[in-house]
Amino acid sequence: MPVLRLAHASGGSAEIYLHGAQVMSWMLPGGEEKLFVASEASFVPGQPIRGGIPVVFPQFAHDGPLPQHGFARTALWTLLGDEDDERHASATLELSESEATNALWPHRFQAHLTVSVGASELEVTLGVTNTDSHSFNFTTALHTYLAIGDIREAALEGLTGGEYLDKTRENTRLVEESERLVVMEHTDSVYVDAPNSLILRDGGRRPPTRIDKTGFRDVVVWNPWSEKVTTFSGMTAEDYLHTICVEAAQVIVPIELGPGESWQGSQKLSVQGGTGLGAPGRATEGKGAT
């Protein structure tokens, strides 16, 4: 499968498959891989690849008539261009309607995914423009599989007090009580209008990863745990220990675009020496006119 490699002068790098515009690797200058790929992930045209950052569009999960998570993650994107400056190496890929997408979702659209890698950060920005003459709506997510040492020792901070839908308990609406979310069971939670900045600590062994989003209102946290792991393609029995999905998402209130309108959302992962979240921010809307 065609792969695009972004290399920044610092030594930071990323790999993007044209299949799904899926970022499959993000490496720090020292060579540490920050994204997880399932041990037995298969790479088959037209099939989802388990790991990295699948692009969920135009439907999250089974919340509609389309195949699970829509078609963007299984479509072949094209490279629009790339750019280098002192701080980043970046590339933009594009997907627009085709016979295949029209058969599933009868709307003309243009989606752009820009991936930008620097010395200590990876930013992924998804933009969608309605190029049709009628309105449409969609749900979306950047389904980021973060690599961690051991899930039982990792903690996600910043969600405290937020409401979430627990998909493992028939979408029961709950409030996140914990200051540090430690995943200890099958977890599939949609945090509604979630904060824009989270911190993922990885057992204190490595510097934490800061996860910032703009444009996307929600955050999905997913891990299949031991009882479900092997029911997911490509995952071996131990794989659940080494990843947590923290997805910048908009799934509760679909994004609606009129003709000519655009929406944009991004997720930035950065590895820092610092420990705090800085100024907290709530979810923001990324919709605007072109």
Q: Which of 190, 200, 242, 211 is nearest to 41 (CA)?
A: 242
Residue 232 found at the interface with ligand BG6 (CB under 6 A): yes
Residue 220 found at the interface with ligand BG6 (CB under 6 A): yes
Judged by CB under 6 A, the chain residues 109 through 138 that form the site for ligand BG6 are none
Closest to ligand BG6 by CB, 143 or 217: 143
Size of the site for ligand BG6 (CB under 6 A): 11
- Please give the single-letter amino acid code of residue 95: L
- From the CB of 81, what's the least distance to ligand BG6, in Å? 29
Contacts of 6 (CB under 8 A, 6+ apart): 13, 14, 15, 16, 82, 89, 90, 91, 115, 116, 117
- Please give the single-letter amino acid code of residue 223: N
- From the CB of 100, what's the least distance to ligand BG6, in Å? 18
Closest to ligand BG6 by CB, 55 or 93: 55
- From the CB of 251, what's the least distance to ligand BG6, in Å? 8
- From the CB of 267, what's the least distance to ligand BG6, in Å? 14
Judged by CB under 6 A, the chain residues 239 through 278 that form the site for ligand BG6 are 247
Contacts of 170 (CB under 8 A, 6+ apart): none
Residue 203 found at the interface with ligand BG6 (CB under 6 A): no
CA distances from 29 to 12, 25, 173, 198, 274 (A): 4, 13, 41, 23, 18
Q: What is d(CA 206, CA 271) in angstroms, rounded to the nearest whole number?
A: 9
Residue 143 found at the interface with ligand BG6 (CB under 6 A): yes
Residues 204 and 9: beta-carbon distance below 8 Å: no
Residues 78 and 93: beta-carbon distance below 8 Å: yes
Query: Which amino acids are annotated catalytic?
Result: 143, 247
Question: Token pair of 24, please?
Answer: 């499959």
Residue 217 found at the interface with ligand BG6 (CB under 6 A): no
Q: What is d(CA 87, CA 119) in angstroms, rounded to the nearest whole number?
A: 7
- From the CB of 161, what's the least distance to ligand BG6, in Å? 22
| R_g of the chain computed on alpha carbons | 18
Strand order in the sheet with 22-27: 3-7, 13-17, 22-27
Candidates 4-12, 61-69, 97-105, 173-181 — which segment interacts with ligand BG6 by CB under 6 A?
61-69
Residue 48 found at the interface with ligand BG6 (CB under 6 A): yes
Residue 155-194 contact track with ligand BG6, rule CB under 6 A, x = bound: ------------x--------------------x------
Query: Tokens 């979430």 belong to which residue?
Result: 164
Residue 213 found at the interface with ligand BG6 (CB under 6 A): no
Residues 162 and 191: beta-carbon distance below 8 Å: yes
Residue 88 found at the interface with ligand BG6 (CB under 6 A): no
Residue 218 found at the interface with ligand BG6 (CB under 6 A): no
Footprint on this chain of ligand BG6 (rule: CB under 6 A): 48, 61, 68-69, 143, 167, 188, 220, 222, 232, 247
